[in-house]
Amino acid sequence: MVAEVGPWAKEKLEILARYLDFYTKVLKNQPWRTLYVDAFAGGGRAKVRNKNEPISTPDLLETPDTQDSEQTEFLDGSPRVALGIANPFSRYVFIEPAPKRAEELSGLEAEFGDSRQITTLRLPAAEGIAWVTTQAISKSKHRGVAFLDPFGARLEWSSVQSLADTGLFEVVVNFALNMAINRMLPNDGNVPVAWAETLDRYFGSHEWFDEVYSSAAHGLFASTEIRKRDDYSVRLLELYRRNLKSAFGFVSTPRLICNTRGAPLYYLLWAGPHRKGLEGADYILRMGDKLPKVRKGST
């Protein structure tokens, strides 16, 4: 069954296409083999919902297959966006554990034939990224971009760190602050264990808790009250950006994606080991009409 997305997905995919086009143009005449990794690839196409609000699921973690709403449009997902750029990557790795969606992705191999080298991994994202970083690359031969676009908070920091540790990858990340993370943070600080463990894996530590909550003693017996900080959303975003900068070296300004009513949903972030990539990413995330000039031999 075809997955469904909100109309705001178009903006995200347009930004992705612009950056991938920029990246492959920069490296077009360089000796490296370029690798595109889509860690949460989906099935390659999706139906666009008419509804303004994002899907809400009971555990805030699973991707739903269906939603009761009229469908009026199909949208190429990130795998087809990446395959369709003018200067293609040397190799594409699509990671998708759901059998039906992985089967759709496997169909892309036949559709594109010898014009694209495509590998589809029927694995969870963490296992697929581990395979890429340990078996699919060599430091002397490869450079790559990983698109990390999970539904909810399914992205584990250990996977992001492993990409950074190679020194070869740039990442484009969906930081799902309003669509998922904020919904897992009750006002009283009593975060369910499963959600807390998920957030620990997402941020790589329990540091997120102190960015969201403050505690103060009050009353005759100095009881402690935990309160949600007024600026917790900003603090979480900056925590994640700090983590990315520490891991990769450079991190972009965030690009806020909103729904059709203007309500904030998530941020797109770029991180990578080269300043030239940062310059391109920042320009594109601001949705400029022209790309910066590319110096030969720079990345």
In order along its 299 residues, the chain shows pLDDT tens digits of: 556 666 678 899 999 999 999 999 999 889 999 999 999 998 877 666 665 444 444 344 444 443 444 445 777 889 999 999 999 999 999 999 999 999 989 888 888 888 899 999 999 999 999 999 998 888 889 999 999 999 889 999 999 999 999 999 999 999 999 989 999 999 999 999 999 999 999 999 999 999 999 987 655 555 578 999 999 999 999 999 999 999 999 999 999 999 888 889 999 999 999 999 999 999 999 864 344 444 444 43
pLDDT value at position 51? 56
pLDDT value at position 271? 98
| 173 bridge partner residues | 148, 269
- Name residues whose C-beta falls within 8 Å of residue 188's C-beta, 6 or more positions apart in sequence: 226
pLDDT value at position 121? 95
pLDDT value at position 190? 95
pLDDT value at position 293? 46
pLDDT value at position 69? 42
DSSP string, the chain: --EEE-TTHHHHHHHHHHHHHHHHHHTTTSSSEEEEEETT-TTSEEEEES-SSPP--TTS-SPPS--SS-EEEEEE-HHHHHHTSSS--SEEEEE--SHHHHHHHHHHHHHHGGGS-EEEE-S-HHHHHHHHHHHS--TTTEEEEEEE--SSS---HHHHHHHHHHSSEEEEEEE-IIIIIGGG--TTS---HHHHHHHHHHHSSSHHHHHHEEEEEETTTTEEEEEE-TTHHHHHHHHHHHHHHHHHSEEPPPEEEE-TTS-EEEEEEEEES-HHHHHHHHHHHTT-SSPPPPPTT--
CA dist 26 and 261 (Å) reads: 36
